[in-house]
Amino acid sequence: MPSLRVNPNRMELLKLRRRADVARRGHKLLKDKLEQLLKEFMSRIAENRRLRAEVERDLFEAYGLLAVARAEAGAATITQALLAGEPTGIVTAGQRNVMSVRVPVLQLSELPTPGGYSYATTPAVLDEALARLASVVPRMIELAEREKAIELLAAEIETTRRRVNALEYVLIPQLVSTVRDIRMKLDEAERSDLTRLMKVKAMIEEQQREA
């Protein structure tokens, strides 16, 4: 691992040691966060699969009833019936914090009662299909909330993993290598200074003896 480009002096050595300590503490905190994120992610995945299976099953049944209604009354009549009534907002969105990730919170208001179409020209199975759809809407909203949270957690996991790897395999090894290089250069400089001092001392002692 190549060393960082710094001046090999004791002040830089002290700074780099402190920086390495901070990097190690940050690395540990990020690894702990990554483990917790993975646990949260896996627990949500299992519940999401169960909920998605339920929603898909109920939607399949509701769409089957709509297909029967179309067969009985015709596609144009059913389409006109489904367009009856006024659109209204039924979902409000908020956020909450999960492991430093802002995940959505979707709140479902009361669903409007299906209607506004002629009961004389539409089959009874249409009412049953709409009732079935209305019953699955709360779980569809919950599923959307859960899947978006999983998507955001997955993105945070990837970001945290990259940071952990950058610290573990790049920054910390660079700091350790640089600290080692500076220590070696300082030790070498100290040995050179000591050698020069010993030579000077020997020269002074020799001059004193000759005098």
Residues 34/40/41/46 CA torsion (nearest 10 deg): 150
Residue tagged 């914090």 (tokens): 97
Q: Does domain 10-210 have CATH number 3.40.50.460?
A: no
Question: 72-120, pLDDT tens digit by residue?
Answer: 888 888 888 777 766 677 888 899 998 889 999 988 887 777 666 677 7
Question: 168-204, pLDDT tens digit by residue?
Answer: 999 999 999 889 888 888 878 778 777 787 877 777 7
What confidence score (pLDDT) does residue 6 get? 75
What pTM did the predictor assign? 0.76
**Residue pair 69/126 in contact by the 8 Å Cβ criterion:** yes
